[in-house]
Homo-oligomer: A and B are copies of this chain.
Amino acid sequence: MNHTTVGLIGAGRIGRLHAENLVGIPEAHLKMVASPHLDEAWAQALGIPVRSTDVGAVFDDPEIEAVVIAASSDRHVELIRRAVEAGKHIFCEKPVAFEPGPIEEIIALAAGAGVLLQVGYNRRFDPSLVAAHHEIDGGGIGEIHTVRVTSRDPIPPDIDFVRRSGGLFFDFTVHDFDTVRFLSGAEIVELFAVGEVLVDPRIGAAGDIDTAVITLRLSNGALAVIDNSRHAVYGQDQRFEAFGSSGSVAVDNLRATYVTTSKRDGVFSSRLHGSFGDRYREAFVAELSGFLSSVREGRPVAVGAEDALAAVRAAHAAKRSLAENRPIRLDEAMATDTAGEGGIR
């Protein structure tokens, strides 16, 4: 069996998830995990041969062909740079960065070094979204007229996270901007964003919003609409629809269980998934499998830093649209805006 030797950087929540997925993928050999805060017993139980608290060890090991970066967000660009220098292929969790500049820089670096760079937009590997994409891409719904994305989180983030998250559009809506691009096969040209603080006034005090509706014009002439909330009490709400001249394709919510109870008062179904980890469990495995296939076969990755760049540009436009209460073209958005300074509001 032709397998790829992998090093993992980071062993927080998302790092551990990637580790537990990697050991069960026969095509991957997870040789090393490196993190300043490593839980030795956990890593040992998973059978990871080399454990280090020095992330540099991953870059120094010549056997390691590919690195999975799941460190804290503010180190992503630096770690990508070092991985490129070390000639490793890279899977990096989102966000890569909040500004176009650094993303453009690492795109150029990786291209120059001939290493692959995949970004953790895991939805692109969700079996339902993949099936929807294929249906649309194959002409199943004809010409696209509208795309709808509903994305709501089950639990609002804590306020500390809100402060350093870059704001709703940069932390959360970027996934939806990417999904609109993925499903439509088109670029975002212009958008109009409305947003409110309806979930928690502390989110407003931190300079962010928690509820938004964004209308988009796409390069193929289609319209799109995204609605977001930081707090859906009923669970992870992830619904997608593309509508066109020959029909529509919709991705419905998955459920924690498929049990229906019928009683005197009505019919009860189980809750939606309680976290994105549960909702996108298959996608998290598939994005790593897909990355490793690209590495083994020398194929381009399915979702790269160019996609992160497009989503970040849309987030800047949304931020400005919200501030100015008018539609913003993506090409004008970048002229004057500076992200991350003082949040969305």
A233-290, CB < 8 A from B? 233-235, 237, 243, 245-272
Q: Does A75 belong to the interface (CB within 8 Å)?
A: no
B26 touches A24 (CB 8 A): no
Q: Does A227 belong to the interface (CB within 8 Å)?
A: yes
Q: Does A73 belong to the interface (CB within 8 Å)?
A: no
Select the residue from A23, A150, A225, A267 with max chain B CB neighbours within 10 A. A267
Contact of A261 among B30, B41, B248, B261 (CB under 8 A): B248
A47 touches B47 (CB 8 A): yes
For A148, the chain B residues whose CB sits under 8 A away are 150, 227
Interface stretch of the complex, out of A64-72, A127-135, A171-179, A335-343: A127-135
Copies of this chain, tallied across the complex: 4
Dominant secondary structure at the A interface:
mixed
Q: Does A57 belong to the interface (CB within 8 Å)?
A: no
| CA–CA, A255 and B213, complex, Å | 29
Q: Does A229 belong to the interface (CB within 8 Å)?
A: yes
B259 touches A1 (CB 8 A): no
Interface string of A170-213 (1 = CB under 8 A from B): 00000000000000000000001010101100000000000111
Q: Does A27 belong to the interface (CB within 8 Å)?
A: yes
A103-150, CB < 8 A from B? 127-128, 130-132, 135, 140-141, 143, 145-146, 148, 150
Interface stretch of the complex, out of A159-167, A214-222, A297-305: A214-222
B270 touches A227 (CB 8 A): no
A45 touches B24 (CB 8 A): no
For A272, the chain B residues whose CB sits under 8 A away are 262, 267
| CA–CA, A325 and B23, complex, Å | 53
| CA–CA, A327 and B248, complex, Å | 29
Q: Does A56 belong to the interface (CB within 8 Å)?
A: no
Number of interface residues of A (CB under 8 A): 88
B196 touches A194 (CB 8 A): no
Contact of A146 among B213, B256, B326, B327 (CB under 8 A): B213
A40-61, CB < 8 A from B? 41-42, 45-49
For A85, the chain B residues whose CB sits under 8 A away are none
Q: Does A293 belong to the interface (CB within 8 Å)?
A: no
| CA–CA, A167 and B17, complex, Å | 42
Select the residue from A234, A261, A262, A268 with max chain B CB neighbours within 10 A. A262
A253 touches B258 (CB 8 A): yes
B20 touches A42 (CB 8 A): no
A128 touches B257 (CB 8 A): yes
Q: Does A29 belong to the interface (CB within 8 Å)?
A: yes
Contact of A267 among B42, B45, B268, B327 (CB under 8 A): B268
| CA–CA, A194 and B265, complex, Å | 30
B24 touches A42 (CB 8 A): no
> Could you jot down 24 A-B contacts, CB within 8 Å?
A1-B42, A21-B24, A24-B24, A131-B259, A192-B192, A192-B215, A194-B223, A196-B223, A198-B221, A213-B223, A213-B225, A234-B247, A234-B264, A234-B266, A235-B262, A237-B248, A248-B262, A249-B259, A249-B261, A251-B257, A253-B258, A254-B258, A267-B270, A267-B272
A-B contacts besides A21-B24, A196-B221, A262-B272, 12 pairs, CB < 8 Å: A1-B45, A23-B47, A24-B24, A24-B46, A127-B257, A131-B257, A131-B259, A192-B192, A212-B223, A229-B243, A235-B262, A248-B262
